[in-house]
Structure 1
């Protein structure tokens, strides 16, 4: 194990995790990666650094000389349908998936490699990132196919709302009770409203958008759900901390306009999500009252 390279973020995440199963899984990664390399006839390089928290991801080349990416992930609830989402998008605005192998706690994907692979976050200023992210989302939102496996957004929102209530019980002074109640009610209620349902990315931000040759920008690491498109611009805004703190309503209006969404609905979603994140992200607490519905 000492000679097998691990991404820094994966190491730190596992160290903080109480799951003995996940620690065993990391210890088995050399064997798992070796078997996948044999299965798909791959030459596999060192993993990308610092990497993600739940996956071992590295450049690879197959017998035909294709430059690919091998993603070996600990199967987790949020990312369960990544491969199915990529199949639906079929390379339009997203990386292509060529092979999938699920074995117990391991989900392995063989993906298109983006070259040069520069992140949108490192290549562009934030206002330009807004345009790229919104443009990609408008292409990716589509009606889910018949018989699709994707979960409704309401399931994720209910799950996160329950976690918020537990966290707030441990830190009851984190937020004004009225704002907390209004925000979590919206977070549960908005995904239940009768709006057009689309296949969502749910975790799209500029670090998950890479420069490529086949298209200028391609998304990676989607966490697909089906629901309200107005939800899908939230993660990008949360990653634009300085602008969000300076003018939360202005940023919400900008992203709504760029993505072709209703301004008021995006602001409501941003208020609800800011409340939901506020216990674990204290910098959001001053933002919450400025987004509260008027």
Structure 2
């Protein structure tokens, strides 16, 4: 019988309480049932993310490698299988089977190495942009729209600005609010990943890189550029010229994703302001020590301020070196 990873169990109970405990008690039998139903055999130790377990399997009788993913019933995972169905393997792993009621999927197996392990920021941003372009396909009507979150985004930005002590000037916060007002309500009817950071892009056999763990939103593909850039914070911190490095990253994403550079800049700036406020309220997962966390919060302030300034033709000069 499947054994639940101890760390995953502890995190689930800490986050979900009694509901998490009850779900974990059912999980081994559920995994075994799904393996039998989808005619698979276990093929290695299970791994896990924040809300789901992933079991390497072999499909019978072909022996094809795949993974069984089972997630805790969480709204953030509601539309993951819908996104995979729409993409049908274009830029993302293939979906073989799905059980939406049980938050379970049988997926193409990618490799364990992720884009986050690549040190070259240019490569990370370019690969992420190309994946974003592949995922930007016409969206079905039943998926959630990012535009529906615009009012919530604005309200939260205003609340955080009022309640939290921070290092951003008024123009920086106002720029993020303006982005929500001017770009947030009217967005394209195309699929976006919704959480396109380098850790959610894996090396694969069918294609060099494939996306996993989508949120399944409909909206502006430029939105994903901000998520990708935000996740490169530690690499950008090491840049000799932060302003130049940030401009280059935004330009490279816009070119690879084939999106408007100014929209990419503005969404990246919105994400940076959100991160600056989030870090003050909740901390950053990548920073466990207080001193490092404080440094990242200050960096988010600086990044948000840099991105608040339109670059015009000057930013084109950063391409190529």
Same fold (TM over 0.5): yes
How far does residue 201 in structure 1 lie from its aligned partner after superposition? Answer: 0.8
Q: Name the TM-score, length of structure 1 as normaliser.
A: 0.85
1:292 aligns with 2:284: no
Bigger fraction of residues in helix: 2
Matches within 5 A, 1:215-226: 215-226=207-218
1:132 and 2:131 correspond: no
Could you list the runs of 5+ residues in structure 2 that have no partner in the other structure? 280-296, 311-321
Question: 1:60 deviation in Å?
Answer: 1.1
- Bigger shift: 76-85 or 238-247? 238-247
Tell me how far apart the structure 2 counterparts of residues 206 and 236 of structure 1 sit (CA, whole Å).
7
Please list every run of 5 or more consecutive structure 1 residues that lacks an aligned counterpart in the other structure. none
Q: Is the 8 A contact 2:81 2:100 kept in 1?
A: no
Contact 2:168 2:305 in 1 (8 A): no
In 1, the alpha carbon distance for the partners of 2:40 and 2:16 equals: 33
Aligned to 1:273: 271
Tell me how far 1:7 sits from its aligned partner: 6.5
**Aligned 1:1-294 pairs, distance under 5 A:** 4-6=3-5, 8=7, 10-11=8-9, 13-44=11-42, 45-48=44-47, 51-64=48-61, 65-103=63-101, 106-114=102-110, 116-123=111-118, 125-145=120-140, 148-165=141-158, 167=160, 170-173=163-166, 175-176=168-169, 179-193=172-186, 196-245=188-237, 246-247=242-243, 248-281=246-279, 282=297, 283-293=299-309
Deviations 1:109-164 (A, max 9, x none): 000112x442122256221122211112212211124xx32111123444455555
Q: What's the C-alpha RMSD, in Å, of the aligned pairs?
A: 2.6
Matched residue SS, 2:77: coil
**TM-score normalised by length of structure 2:** 0.79
